[in-house]
Amino acid sequence: MRAKFSFVLPLALTALLSAWQIAAGHPGSTPFATWAYTLGFGILLVASVWLILMGREVLNSVVGVWFAALIPLSLSLGLVNEYAPTFTSAYLGFILIGWVGIAITRFMRAHPTLRVGAVAFVHGVAGLVIVGLPLLAFALYQIRPFILGMSLGGAIIGISGMILLWQRMGRSASKWDKWMERLPWSLLFSTLCLVIGLNLR
C-alpha cells in the first residue's frame, strides 16, 4: 500500500526539521541538556521515517509506544536541566522509574487501567514540565517570548500522545483512521514550535 502524499509530506518535513535541530545543536545549552534534546528530536526523526515506511504498524507495536514516551520525557529533562538545574538528578530518577514502569506494565500485560495509568501519569508530569517551565522561565528571567513555542509544542505532543493512547484503548477503527490522518500534521506543527522555542528564545 502506497502512503498518501499528505501523510508523507508532513512526516518528511518533521524528519528534516528534527535532523537540522540535532545537527545545529542548541547554542547556550549545557552538554547534558543538548543530549536530552538530541534524544527527543532523534526519536521524532526516527519515528517520522518509520511512520512513512511502516504506517500504523509502528503505533500498534508495544515497543513503539514505549520509545515514543521518551519524546516528552527527554525534552522535559533538557528543560529541567537548563531552567531548574538543582532538580536534574531527581527528575532524571523520576524519568527512569517512569519509563521502566511503562515498560513493566506494557510488557507484563498488566491490567489495562494500570497500563494507561502509568503512561498517563508519566506523560502528564512530563507534559506539565514542558508546558510550565518555559512559562515560568519567561516570567522569571529575561527570555524572549519565543520560548513559549516549547510550551505549545510540548502541549501538542502531550495531547497527541494521550489521544493516541485513548484511541487505542477504545479500539474504534474509524476514529483511529481519522486520528492517523491528523497525526503527521500535529507532529510537524509541534516540532516546528519546539524548534522555534529552542532557537529563538
Partner 1 sequence: MQTWLTVIKQRIRLYGSLIKPLQTGLLLATGLAGYMSARCPVYHLDSVFVLGVSLGLAISGSTVLNMWWDRDIDAKMQRTQSRPLAAGVLTPHETFILGVILSVLGVGWAFGISTGYGWIVFAGWFFDVIVYTLWLKRRTCWSILWGGISGGMPVLAGRTLGTGTIDGIGLLLALAVLFWIPTHILTFSLKHFNEYQAAHIPTFPARYGFRTTRLIITISSLLATAAITLAGIWLGMQWGYLRLLLVLSAGLLCLALIVMLRPTERTHFSLYKYASLYMLSAMLLLAL
Residues 6+ positions from 35 with CB-CB distance below 8 Å: none
Stretch that binds partner 1, among 37-45, 88-96, 139-147, 166-174 (CB under 8 A): 37-45
Binding to partner 1 by residue 199, rule CB under 8 A?
Answer: no
State which of positions 50-69 bind partner 1 (CB under 8 A): 50, 53-55, 57, 61, 63, 67
Give yes or no for a contact between 68 and 47, defined as CB atoms under 8 angstroms apart.
Answer: yes
Binding to partner 1 by residue 42, rule CB under 8 A?
Answer: yes
Binding to partner 1 by residue 38, rule CB under 8 A?
Answer: yes
With contacts defined by CB under 8 A, how many residues of the chain interact with partner 1?
A: 19
Binding to partner 1 by residue 19, rule CB under 8 A?
Answer: yes
Stretch that binds partner 1, among 2-10, 39-47, 111-119, 141-149 (CB under 8 A): 39-47
Neighbours of 53 (CB within 10 A): 12
Give yes or no for a contact between 134 and 84, defined as CB atoms under 8 angstroms apart.
Answer: no
Give me 130's grid cell. 514542558
Provide the minimum distance between the beta carbon of 30 and partner 1 in the complex, in angstroms, as a whole number: 14
Binding mask of the shown chain, residues 64 to 93, with x at each position contacting partner 1 by CB under 8 A: ---x--------------------------
User: Judged by CB under 8 A, which of 3, 9, 13, 46 binds partner 1?
Assistant: 46
Binding to partner 1 by residue 7, rule CB under 8 A?
Answer: no
35 vs 176, which CB is nearer to partner 1? 35
27 vs 174, which CB is nearer to partner 1? 27
19 vs 143, which CB is nearer to partner 1? 19
- What letter represents residue 130's amino acid? I
Number of H helices, E strands in the chain: 9, 0
Long-range contacts of 80-86, Cβ-Cβ distance < 8 Å, separation of 24 or more = 80/129, 80/133, 81/30, 81/32, 81/33, 81/36, 82/29, 82/30, 82/33, 83/133, 83/134, 83/136, 83/137, 83/141, 84/133, 85/30
CA gap 109, 121 in Å, rounded: 18
- What letter represents residue 87's amino acid? F
Chain residues binding partner 1 by CB under 8 A are 19, 22-25, 38, 41-42, 45-46, 49-50, 53-55, 57, 61, 63, 67
